[in-house]
Structure 1
Amino acid sequence: MANLSHTLRYSPLRFFGLVFGLSWLPWMAAAYISHLPDEQPLAITLALAGLLGPAVAAGIMIRPGTGSRLWQDFRKRLFSLAGVTPGRLLVMFGLILIPLAIATWLSVRMGQSAAQFAVSSGFLPMLPLALIAALLEELGWRGYGVDSLRSVWRMLLPVTLVFSGLWALWHLPLFFIQGTYQHQLWQTGGIYVANFFISIFPASVMANWFYYRCQRSIPAAVLFHFTLVMAAELLQIAPLTKCIWSAILFLIAALLIAIEQDFFCKE
């Protein structure tokens, strides 16, 4: 695991405070406006503005162009592919897509429609938005946030636990914005809302594992995030299938921690 330089000074409380303020304020406004007649375009604009929170907060903390050590470190990692090997890419794709295929197969065996194996009609239209969302989030999460937590807790496992909780909480206002994926889950049922929050933990474990194995490469983090989101949009899977997928990912995350104990549990 790449060691963080002791010369880098982070402020996680200030960063996450900025993130929540910059995201939640427009999202809370969007949550109200989205339920008003003929105001959906403004609500969508505010919802998209909230996605800027992590990236803008990282920019404020790093202060681009100042010559600070944080900026130099960020700039070095921004386009770095040094740790992104074909083998790691295959593992990353496998950790996401194979569990999805198994979950869909199990769902069909349990009586769900076999039409779930068909490619979703929303897959291609979602590509640009998913890429933008992954980029904006990871510029903040792995550009500053996760490393800032590691400046407090050196071990990766507690960092991942804390980050997954913060990442889950960050999404909360989206459940009240009409038209969002999270709002659709809210209408579908509480078990699917719970599954969304539970699924963030294995996603955080695998994302941090891939990020640090790839020498803190920001493009690697963006690629993982983008792949995870698009995998969820790839097939016409039922909500139950997503619960099964989350359970399999949770098992894989637990096995990954057990196998990579030195990686997750040593400073």
Structure 2
Amino acid sequence: MVFLIVCFSVTWSAWGILGWLARAQQLVYGQWPFMLLYVLGGLGPMIGAYVAVLSTSSQAPLREFHQRLFRWRVAGWWYAVTIGLPVVLAIASTMIAVLFRPDLSSALSIRPWYMFVPLLAVMIVGGGLEEPGWRGIAQPEIAHTIGSAKAALWVGLVWALWHVPLFFLPGVSQYGSNFPVFALGVVGMALMLGWLYSRTASILLCVVFHAAANAITALGVAIPHEAGCLVLLSPCLHVLAGFVLLLAARARSDERVAAEFV
């Protein structure tokens, strides 16, 4: 609860003030005061995570939180999955949309592939740093009560709601776009990230996954808005992938438990 109160207070205050100033034409995207408030709002989950950990140090010591945050010693193939899965899903959904509507190919504006690396680094801040809060605090806390799969779904819904001020903020990509479609994609991301965290207990990998998903979109591998209802392909594919991964993980867990009683 501490996390959510601080997270939403920081983010909605910063983005609310920014939206008011932007609509009053006092600030525009790109100016340093605009970007400062924009980044501050995006750091709400991380700020909330640290406040929650420090205020409940007996239950969640800072050292333990940092061990999860910087856990990098995992099997090498997890890094391939972490970066590759969001990239493959973005390419797949875009290709399917173009197959249905070949004319959409002219609306695509994809940057050179080598730009993915610098974009990945930028998106660590532009999205990735939300993960200490959503997967580092919210996911494990809720999972204690209702399990990892249901927790991922609930976190996804709250995470989508957290983004609402951006849809009233001139200059950012969400402004004026379709919130239900966006929210469905966020839920799909939360399901996949919930699976990734439950399998690795690494917040760091979740940061990289989130950054990779944002980077491939920034690269231009995304279904154009002109696609109409086909824009649902990407979020639906994310949700499907998330459910499949979580169900597969649960089946494996059930098999392991059954084997222990044999």
Interval containing the TM-score (normalised by the shorter chain):
0.7 to 0.9
1:250 deviation in Å? Answer: 2.1
Deviations 1:197-218 (A, max 9, x none): 101111111111112211x112
1:67 deviation in Å? Answer: 8.2
Aligned to 1:169: 161
Aligned mate of 1:56, from 47, 57, 64: 47
**Structure 1 residues 234 and 242, CA gap change in structure 2 (3 angstroms):** farther
Equivalent position SS for 1:180: coil
**2: CA distance, partners of 1:180 / 1:21:** 20
1:171 deviation in Å? Answer: 0.2
**1: CA distance, partners of 2:128 / 2:97:** 32
Aligned to 1:245: 234
Gaps of 5+ in 1: 1-12
Q: Is the 8 A contact 1:123 1:234 kept in 2?
A: yes
Aligned to 1:132: 125
**Structure 1 residues 158 and 174, CA gap change in structure 2 (3 angstroms):** same
Trace 1:1-267 onto structure 2 (pairs within 5 A). Answer: 13-40=1-28, 41=31, 42-63=33-54, 69-83=60-74, 85-109=75-99, 110-115=101-106, 116=108, 118-119=110-111, 126-153=119-146, 155-183=147-175, 186=176, 188=177, 192-214=178-200, 216-235=201-220, 237=222, 238-239=224-225, 240=227, 242-262=231-251
**2: CA distance, partners of 1:133 / 1:118:** 19
User: Greater relative contact order: 1 or 2 (C-alpha under 8 angstroms, separation 6 or more)?
Assistant: 1
Deviations 1:64-95 (A, max 9, x none): 9x787521211222322123x22223333443
**1: CA distance, partners of 2:179 / 2:253:** 28
Equivalent position SS for 1:178: coil
Q: Which moved more, 1:237-246 or 1:28-37?
A: 237-246
Deviations 1:10-58 (A, max 9, x none): xxx2211111111111111111101123422333322221112111111
**Structure 1 residues 162 and 264, CA gap change in structure 2 (3 angstroms):** farther
Equivalent residue pairs, number: 245
**2: CA distance, partners of 1:170 / 1:90:** 29
1:133 deviation in Å? Answer: 2.9
**1: CA distance, partners of 2:254 / 2:213:** 25
**2: CA distance, partners of 1:246 / 1:118:** 20
- Whichever residue aligns with residue 55 of structure 1, its letter is M
Equivalent position SS for 1:152: helix
Q: Is the 8 A contact 2:48 2:133 kept in 1?
A: yes
Percent identity between the aligned chains? 22
1:195 deviation in Å? Answer: 1.2
